[in-house]
């Protein structure tokens, strides 16, 4: 793995890299020549991914809590010492608890906004000096969701946060358009990740339906009749990170089998 590849050994920092979409993105970036910082709160899954990618340029930044400015600063400084300034930032860390709006507590609301929206703000602001110093070819790629473009019931905090991420993406793209830094969002639909697997199990337990029946509730919204694969999201991130996407900025790219068609 590794080598020069299309990403030319640029330093990519991926938050929430321990599993699911984040791990798929990290694998794809490494395979295409990037030096990748695997950032996340828990060391064990990051170490497991680093072991899988042994022989490649990867650095583990554990304790990387996107809600904690001091933790971000520590992790970023260690990452810089390993690979130099960050040229590709992938904001992927996020959480998606479910509850009816009237049962959504202020604590839940604040937590989701803190992780999924303010976390993007804090990490991006911390990394921005690196990106501006790199200049042409620097990238910010925010993993949002179709929930950033449309509404879904029972995840009001998540929808609000992801709409905020898309808005932040568009605003920052304009600010950085002449700095050589592009800013885009990737908006997956329901994706085959541990989060979805836990949701399927929870629905089955609450309703008495089989896991196959519970899964069908997620699949039916996708016109292709399936879950999105994490690798498909990662390939979209790779395209946005690549030199050929330099004119693409301020966009929300939907990866959802036709479920949402952004105008």
Mean pLDDT of 8-18: 96
Average pLDDT in the chain: 93
8 Å CB contact between 90 and 237: yes
Measure the CA angle with vertex 58, ends 56 and 63; round to 5°: 160
Mean pLDDT of 35-56: 95
Domain parsing of the chain, residue ranges: 11-189+228-255, 192-227
Where does the pLDDT of residue 62 fall: very low under 50, low under 70, confident under 90, or very high at 90 and above? very high
Mean pLDDT of 71-78: 98
Catalytic residue among 59, 64, 83, 158: 158
Q: Using one digit for the tens of pLDDT, what is the confidence trace for 127-182?
A: 999 999 998 999 999 999 999 999 999 999 999 999 999 999 999 999 999 999 99
| Assigned fold of 11-189+228-255 | Rossmann fold (3.40.50)
Q: Using one digit for the tens of pLDDT, what is the confidence trace for 223-261?
A: 998 899 999 999 999 999 999 999 999 999 999 999 888
Measure the CA angle with vertex 113, ends 89 and 132; round to 5°: 25
Mean pLDDT of 50-56: 91
8 Å CB contact between 241 and 141: yes
Instruction: Give the C-alpha separation, 32 to 256, whole Å.
Output: 24
pLDDT value, residue 203: 78
Q: Which residues of 24-63 are buried (b: 16+ CB within 10 A; e: fewer)?
A: bbbbbbbbbbbbbbbbbbeeebbeebbeebeebbbbbbbe
Q: Which two tokens stand for residue 151?
A: 């509404």
**Lowest mean per-residue pLDDT among 72-81, 97-106, 120-129, 192-201:** 192-201
Mean pLDDT of 199-222: 81
Task: Tell me which of 45 and 6 has the higher pLDDT.
Answer: 45
8 Å CB contact between 71 and 79: no
pLDDT value, residue 2: 46
% of the chain at pLDDT higher than 70: 98
Q: Is 152 a catalytic residue?
A: no
Mean pLDDT of 178-195: 92
**Lowest mean per-residue pLDDT among 99-108, 111-120, 198-207:** 198-207
Mean pLDDT of 176-203: 88
8 Å CB contact between 20 and 44: no
Largest CA distance in the chain: 55
């Amino acid at each position: 793995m590794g080598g020069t590849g299309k990403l030319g050994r640029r330093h990519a920092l991926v938050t929430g890299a321990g599993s699911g979409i984040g791990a798929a993105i990290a694998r794809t970036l490494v395979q295409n020549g990037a030096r990748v910082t695997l950032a996340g709160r828990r060391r064990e899954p990051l170490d497991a991914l680093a072991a899988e990618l042994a022989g490649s340029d990867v650095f583990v930044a554990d304790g990387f809590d996107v809600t904690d400015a001091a933790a971000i600063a520590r992790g970023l400084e260690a990452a810089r010492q390993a690979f130099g300034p960050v040229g590709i930032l992938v904001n992927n860390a996020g959480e998606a608890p479910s509850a009816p709006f009237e049962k959504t507590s202020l604590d839940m609301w604040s937590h989701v906004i803190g992780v999924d929206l303010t976390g993007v703000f804090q990490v991006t602001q911390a990394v921005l000096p690196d990106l501006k110093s790199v200049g042409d070819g620097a990238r910010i790629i925010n993993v949002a969701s179709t929930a950033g473009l449309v509404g879904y019931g029972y995840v009001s905090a998540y929808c609000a946060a992801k709409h905020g991420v898309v808005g932040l993406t568009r605003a920052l793209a304009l600010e950085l358009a002449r700095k050589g830094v592009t800013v885009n969002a990737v908006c997956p639909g329901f994706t085959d990740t541990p989060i979805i697997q836990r949701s399927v199990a929870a629905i089955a337990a609450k309703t008495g339906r089989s896991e196959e029946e519970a899964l069908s509730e997620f699949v039916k919204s996708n016109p292709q009749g399936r879950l999105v694969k994490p690798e498909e999201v990662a390939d979209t991130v790779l395209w946005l990170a690549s030199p050929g996407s330099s004119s693409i900025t301020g966009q929300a790219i939907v990866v959802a089998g036709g479920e949402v068609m952004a105008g």
